[in-house]
Amino acid sequence: MIRIDPDAWQVMLRHAEATFPNECCGAMIGSADGDAKLVRQALPLENAHIGSQATRYELRPEDLLKAEKAARSSGMDLIGIFHSHPDHDAYFSETDLKNSCPWYSFVVLSVKAGRYNHAKSFLPNMDQTAAEEEALEAPAA
């Protein structure tokens, strides 16, 4: 289960709505105790995809490295990644799966007509062939 603190959640929602109709992306920082994860801080990152960002996102490894270092310096860990699906539901697409990393939780935010709609979290497997849904506990929008 992944739980997201209210402040972090607001940062994620604002980023997803501000980048609409493009996809947003970012890092989730907090702590993990086995399968129980707590997101205490969300870090918006630049969508580095070259081409239409309405349907794609890409994180720069350098940005992830900075996020990892920032997390460690504040005594926390990089535990997940978030991105948005503008005008589509929150599901883990084939593109999401083929470009995922099994080490993290992936929260997908559905943004419809520029407003947050709903979200889900996923855990992709090592071979990038399947992702199981992870229970997500987030504050009311």
The residue type found at 92 is F
Q: Tell whether residue 99 is a contact of other proteins (CB under 8 A).
A: yes
First to last CA, the chain: 19
CA distance 136 to 107: 8
Write out the two tokens for 22: 């493009």
Q: What mask, x for binding other proteins by CB under 8 A, covers residues 42 to 81? A: -------x-----xxxxx-xx-xx--x--xx----xxx-x
Evaluate whether 119 touches 90 at the Cβ level (below 8 Å). yes
Nearer to other proteins, 5 or 32 (CB): 32
DSSP 5: -
Residue (62 or 113) nearer to other proteins, CB = 62
Q: Does 134 bind other proteins (CB under 8 A)?
A: no
Check if the beta carbon of residue 77 is closer than 8 Å to that of residue 30: yes
Q: Is 32 in the site for other proteins (CB under 8 A)?
A: yes
Tell me if 23 contacts other proteins by CB under 8 A: yes
Secondary structure element (H or E) that encloses residue 65, with its range: helix 61-73
**Cβ 127 to other proteins, closest distance in Å?**
9
Which residues in this chain contact other proteins in the complex, by CB under 8 A? 23, 32, 49, 55-59, 61-62, 64-65, 68, 71-72, 77-79, 81, 83, 85-86, 88, 91, 93, 95-97, 99-104, 106, 126, 128
